[in-house]
């Protein structure tokens, strides 16, 4: 029996950004569920100003009970951090971290600083934040075709400054023991948000299988779904989680 798949999206995002992954996993015979985090669908700056990563984790914990058996948890970016937190407190069969943030401090890469610095006042005060289109293009979408970048930009929303600050400063520690089951880490060698050094450290932390692609941070892009989601599906099919 194939385990269910529980997807967790990242910052400034929503569940719709994982639609291509859901379609591929569903086509491979997996039951899938991808909730949007509170305040993200639609993007609600007022609500986001009051939310924390702990609020997100509580919402995800409430959503995951829909499954009769423990799921495989798949998380992208900040969602990868939440996936790690969730896997430390609930039963799950495997963990897949996609360009995931770590449960420790995120050291910004030099090229990211000009885009992060304007957000510091909002981060410190806990306001909702939303990077410029230039920030998304330069830090998240830079390796994707221009047409795909153009299509994706309007789909991003705001994010909780409190949640993002906790992620950057390493305040979002695991609530329980690190997940001890099978872990797959999928990373981009050209990632300008989560350095390959950090991704390698996460893989080492879990003793995980680590697959590195010649791409940037947005590994869940529609144009990359066959390649990268396909790798995750193949990994699951090779491992004992398919009892």
Number of domains in the chain: 1
The residue ranges of DSSP E strands in 77-131, in sequence order, are: 94-98, 128-129
* Residue 63 in domain: yes
Query: What is the predicted pLDDT for the residue at 240?
Result: 58
* Residue 15 in domain: yes
Q: What is the CATH number of the domain that holds 186?
A: 3.40.50.1820
Q: Find the mean pLDDT for residues 34-53.
A: 97
Q: List pLDDT tens digits, range 219-234.
A: 999 999 999 999 999 9
* Residue 114 in domain: yes
Q: List pLDDT tens digits, range 149-165.
A: 999 999 999 999 999 99
Query: What is the predicted pLDDT for the residue at 238?
Result: 87
In the structure, what pLDDT confidence band is assigned to residue 132 with cuts at 50, 70 and 90?
A: very high
22 has pLDDT over 90: yes
Determine the length of the chain. 243
* Residue 242 in domain: no
Q: What contacts 136, CB < 8 A, 6 or more positions away?
A: 12, 152, 153, 156
* Residue 202 in domain: yes
In the structure, what pLDDT confidence band is assigned to residue 1 with cuts at 50, 70 and 90?
A: confident
* Residue 100 in domain: yes
Mean of per-residue pLDDT scores for the chain: 95
CA distances from 100 to 10, 19, 183 (A): 9, 18, 12
Q: What contacts 114, CB < 8 A, 6 or more positions away?
A: none
Residue range(s) defining the domain that contains residue 122: 5-237
Q: Find the mean pLDDT for residues 201-213.
A: 98
In the structure, what pLDDT confidence band is assigned to residue 95 with cuts at 50, 70 and 90?
A: very high
In the structure, what pLDDT confidence band is assigned to residue 124 with cuts at 50, 70 and 90?
A: confident
* Residue 143 in domain: yes
55 has pLDDT over 70: yes
* Residue 243 in domain: no
The SS3 call for residue 230 is helix
Query: What is the predicted pLDDT for the residue at 175?
Result: 86
Query: What is the predicted pLDDT for the residue at 65?
Result: 85
Q: Find the mean pLDDT for residues 70-93.
A: 97
Query: What is the predicted pLDDT for the residue at 242?
Result: 53
Q: List pLDDT tens digits, range 26-36.
A: 999 999 999 99
């Amino acid at each position: 029996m194939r385990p269910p798949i529980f997807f967790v999206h990242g910052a400034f995002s929503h569940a719709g950004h994982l639609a291509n992954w859901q379609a591929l996993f569903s086509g491979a015979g997996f039951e899938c569920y991808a909730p949007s985090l509170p305040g993200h669908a639609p993007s609600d700056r007022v609500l986001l100003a009051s939310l924390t990563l702990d609020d997100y984790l509580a919402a995800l914990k409430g959503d995951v009970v829909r499954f009769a058996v423990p799921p495989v948890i798949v998380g992208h970016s900040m969602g990868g951090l939440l996936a790690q937190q969730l896997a430390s407190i609930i039963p799950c069969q495997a963990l897949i971290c996609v360009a995931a943030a770590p449960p420790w401090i995120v050291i910004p890469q030099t090229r990211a600083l000009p885009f992060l610095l304007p957000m510091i006042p909002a981060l410190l005060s806990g306001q909702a934040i939303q990077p410029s289109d230039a920030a998304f293009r330069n830090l998240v979408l830079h390796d994707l075709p221009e047409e795909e970048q153009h299509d994706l930009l309007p789909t991003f929303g705001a994010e909780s400054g409190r949640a993002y600050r906790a992620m950057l400063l390493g305040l979002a520690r695991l609530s329980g023991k690190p997940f001890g089951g099978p872990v797959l880490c999928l990373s981009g060698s050209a990632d300008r948000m989560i350095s390959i050094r950090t991704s390698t450290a996460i893989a080492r932390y879990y003793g995980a299988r680590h697959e590195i692609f010649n791409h940037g941070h947005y590994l869940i892009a529609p144009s990359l779904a066959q390649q990268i989601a396909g790798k995750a599906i193949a990994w699951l099919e090779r491992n004992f989680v398919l009892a």
